[in-house]
Amino acid sequence: MSSIPRPRGRYRWLWIYLLGAMAVSSLLLAIGVYNLVTLTSEARVLKRTLLASDGFRGSLKVQGTVGPILLGGARTVLRFLPDVPAEVREGLAAMKSASVGVYKLDTLPSAEMRNEVFAAADAAMERSGWVRIVSVSERHQRVVVYAPANDDDSDQVRLCVAVCDQKQLVVVSGRADAEKLGEFAQRRIPRVL
Amino acid sequence: MNRFIRASVVALSLSALGAIGASAADPVALVDFGKLTPSANCEFVEVNISGPLLKFAATCASKQEPLVAEMLRGLKHVRVNVIGLDDTNRAATTERVTTIRKDLTAQGWTPIVTARGKGTEDVVIFAKMLEDETIDGLVVTVLEAKKQAVLVNIVGQIKADQIASLAEHLNIPELKLAGKAANR
């Protein structure tokens, strides 16, 4: 019966380093993958609260988060694609991170149910330090936008948005460069009202 | 659906372009419109912004529109409500707007514009004047052709000659009337 020779001296340490590096890389990869397929904390609070009610249950269609590294990669790739609209390039240039979740509701919620659920979401978001700044509703649609209640960083803008359209629910949260987003908004978004 | 998208874009652009909020709203010029009654079948828009987005708004506007940026820096809070009207909420909303107007008058707000068209539009704009005749806040109340009501509360120091510019920037035509009135 042959035995496996044990590494000796400095080779043993080399193996330990290699195994340690592999473990750390795997851990980082796992964290990266986890972040990629989950939502940011504020989007998670919003999603959980909205989907918590019996009349507002739904199933996941897609969700994920892209951070600065992936967005930087996307920007680099877009440089080599000539047909991409300028709005996309500018919008992407302003974004620092984005988190998106799309869910299909089991049933079409009534107006009362939507009001109840979004009121609960307001309270939950407020407990997390976010306040509702915009709400637009009409028939079976609603758009709600939240912003941090206290955010002294004027270099970046953070928003969390929920859109409920018929039986589809979309939750988005994003962090953007304030100056670039401002320039983008001024150029691309029509004046109000 | 198009109207809904338009309203959403309007609301989002309002937050993004920042007609836009305050960290500590002035309690004197900040008006509580009370409980508004949305209709299940009509549009209902609420914009209520305060906080660091004010800085963002001013920063956005500073390069291309420095005058607007200066004006935005003076604003502390903006609240906008657009209430679509139908038979289910028309009476209650009209009564609420009437009550708001009475309350504002009782609280010392000055009605600087009163415009009633040929039965289609009913606009009253109030200003909160300080002792030095500067404006500390504006409230625009509109009942339009019995189809929608619009309530706007802008809090912050506004110079009379800035109102027209503010109206232009926010594209609130009724506010242009206030600009003309204030400049007289």
How many angstroms away from the CA of A37 is the closest CA of chain B? Answer: 27
Provide DSSP, B116-176: E-SSSEEEEEEEEE-TTS-EEEEEEEEEETTTEEEEEEEEEEE-HHHHHHHHHHHT-HHHH
Contact assignment for A185 to B60 by CB distance below 8 Å:
yes
CB B61 to CB A133 under 8 A?
A: no
**B11 contacts in chain A (CB < 8 Å):** 134-136, 143, 145
Least confident of B30-39, B91-100, B116-125: B116-125
Contact B60 A152 (CB under 8 A): no
Q: Which of B77, B68, B81 is nearest to B163 (CA)?
A: B68
pLDDT score recorded for residue A189: 54
Residue A58 confidence (pLDDT) above 80: yes
End-to-end CA distance of chain A: 84
Going by C-alpha positions, the residue among B166, B169, B116, B106 that lies closest to residue B145 is: B116
pTM over 0.80? The answer is no
Model confidence at A85, in pLDDT bands (50, 70, 90)? Answer: confident
Contact A154 B169 (CB under 8 A): no
Helix (H, G, I), strand (E, B) or coil at A143: strand
Question: With b meaning 16 or more CB within 10 Å and e meaning fewer, what string describes A120-142?
Answer: ebbebbeebebbbbbbbbbebbb
Dig out the tokens for A149 from the structure.
Answer: 């209640």
Mean pLDDT of B119-131: 84
pLDDT at residue B21, rounded to an integer: 37
Please list every residue in chain A whose beta carbon sits closer than 8 Å to the beta carbon of residue B12.
134, 143, 145, 189
Decide: residue B175, CB within 10 A, 0-12 exposed, 13-18 middle, 19+ buried: buried
What would the two tokens of residue A43 be?
Answer: 């989007």
Nearest to A171 by CA among A54, A33, A62: A62
* B150 pLDDT higher than 50: yes
- Identify the residue whose tokens are 């009362």: A112
Number of cross-chain residue pairs from A and B with Cβ atoms under 8 Å apart? 127
**What is the full DSSP assignment across A27-51?**
HHHHHHHHHHHS--HHHHHHHHHHT
When CB atoms are compared, the residue of B42, B56, B84 closest to A157 is B56
Is the pLDDT at B100 greater than 90, yes or no?
A: yes
Smallest CA-to-CA distance from B47 within A147, A179, A153, A99 is with: A147
The pLDDT of residue B95: 93
What's the pLDDT at B58?
73
Contact across the interface for A190 and B47, Cβ inside 8 Å: no
Q: What is the pLDDT of residue A69?
A: 83
CB-based contact A138 B4, cutoff 8 Å: yes
